Amino acid sequence: MAYAIEHDRMLIGGELVHASGGEFDLSINPATEEVIGRSPRSTAEDVERAFAAADAAWPAWAALTPSERGARMRAFGKALRARAEDFLRIEVADTGNTITPMRGDVGHAVDSLTYYAGLIHELKGETIPATAENLHLTLREPYGVVARIAPFNHPLMFAVARTAAMLAAGNAVIVKPPETSPLSALLLAEVAREALPAGVFNIVTGPGATVGNAIVRHPGIKRIAFIGSPQTGRAIQRSAAEVAVKHVTLELGGKNPLIAFPDTDPDIIAAAAVRGMNFSWQGQSCGSTSRLLLHEDIHDAVLERVVSAVAGLRLGDPFDPATDMGPVNSRIQHEKVLSFFETARHDGSRLMTGGRRPPGERFAKGFWVEPTVYADVKPGMRLWQEEVFGPILSVGRWKTVDEAVELANSTEYGLTGAVWTNDIRNALNVARRIRSGHVWINGCSNHFLGVPFGGMKNSGVGREEGIEEMISYTEAKTINIMLG
Ligand code: NAD
């Protein structure tokens, strides 16, 4: 059968291949529930082949000079950019994210390749003056084979931008794309095959519970970098520990606070609160500021504006540039968001807009939900504590700064946070007291290349997107040279 999206091979050892068992998973367009493509359902045998190819490839890759390796990475970026429109088309159909902001994903992926290609000379060791009779020095060596396991919200971007540092450090890579949106990775397989030496970049698709788990449990893959939910992150830590001593970093979820002080303009806060929710990809962003904490003096004015803006978001075809919000990614995700609507019916929160599947024939098929705002959300409620990873904004109120900080820190998460005020002392004091890995002052949502990103508490371990990420894919080797 022919599919709308025809790419259906993954990449192992420089070959475009199907899974060893010959099986496939079908990919569904979340806007229509139509089958649009298929991806190989890999087996543990495929993971073994990918490992063998990567293990054979990394020594030569690591032996390239920084300039040579950097040049290969930049060429890879150039090849990706040449197919940017094809990637965009696949990504919008397979994820449901809206087209205009998704145009940035390939660019961001290429910029990350360029950034890390330029940092390779910074893989420096040290000399340490420990004794006079020895020269003590350290070298940075790649792990060898490193795995990246990625979530569904920005599959292509994560597969490239979050493997660039691994490649820069001299590793060969195995990527495991998300099972609900794997199709862009299959075009990526074709581009990477042309641009990089065989075995340096491998892609194995399939379910997390089998393929992901086989990667995590592979004794030869010591370094695993994961982006996804806290539950899976902890399962990966457990599985990895059962097999070997491994270095696992985790970029997990968030229930991120945006604290607005009374000295701010309600129009500006309302716009920031809506922007911080990332409705363009249905709120499916780890960094979404999904808890809006308003000072009581501006609470009603901001809430009114937020509700009006969210109610006015245009739901529809993700390919239409005028669309503000598409469908959520999958049936599972859809059921999850609907379950939050159900819980909220009885929890005492106040539904301000949304809270249901949109009515009408147009939305009868597809994983649609309305963009939603609840007011009077409180710490005891599920909406306060659990990440929805969907288009639901919860609003709470505070009186004192101590209360605002306590509310901000009252979940198991600690990924991002935002503080809005014109008072520099309030801004910095509160930013320092928020237990989150990434805090915006008078901003939200943006990532900046080179600036570390990652979570405290149950939002993760490790930092990505800066030089620290590249160093984290190396191990230090100490050498002592006796001079006497
Ligand atoms: P998920 O945890 O369900 O899946 C993520 C990946 O892990 C997928 O590729 C999946 O196949 C794989 N996987 C599942 N079970 C596995 C197992 N047992 N062993 C190995 N791999 C396994 O997450 P998701 O639903 O795809 O993504 C949503 C989550 O990702 C949210 O919690 C969100 O906050 C988080 N996220 C975090 C960041 C960040 O930078 N912190 C960025 C984006 C998304």
Atom of ligand 1 nearest to the CA of 179: 11
Give pLDDT, residue 267.
98
Q: Where are the domains of the chain?
A: 10-252+460-480, 257-448
10-252+460-480, CATH topology level: Aldehyde Dehydrogenase; Chain A, domain 1 (3.40.605)
List the helix and strand counts (H, then E) for the chain.
Answer: 16, 20
Q: Which CATH class is domain 257-448?
A: alpha beta
Look at ligand 1, atom 16, and give the residue with the nearest C-alpha. Answer: 208
- As a whole number of Å, the end-to-end CA separation of the chain is 74
Quote the CA–CA distance of 250 and 162 in Å, as a whole number.
12
> Of the residues 108, 221, 232, 446, which should be mutated to test ligand 1's pocket, given the most ligand atoms within 8 Å of the CB?
232
Cα(67)–Cα(53) distance, rounded to whole angstroms? Answer: 24
Which residues, in sequence order, are bridge partners of residue 446?
Answer: none
Backbone angles phi, psi at 373, to 5 degrees: -130, 130
The structure tokens listed for 79 are 């090849």
Q: Which two tokens stand for residue 395?
A: 């609003």
Ligand 1 pocket member 185 (CB < 6 A): no
- Bridge pairing between strands 247-251 and 24-28: unpaired
Which residue positions in the chain have pLDDT lower than 70?
Answer: 1
Handedness of CA 361, 365, 370, 376 (dihedral sign): positive
Query: Which tokens go with 216?
Result: 């995590």
Q: What pLDDT is attached to residue 484?
A: 79
Determine which residue's CA is closest to atom 20 belonging to ligand 1: 212
Q: Is the CB of 53 under 6 A from ligand 1?
A: no
Ligand 1 in contact with 182 (CB < 6 A)? Answer: no
Q: Is 209 in the pocket of ligand 1 (CB under 6 A)?
A: yes
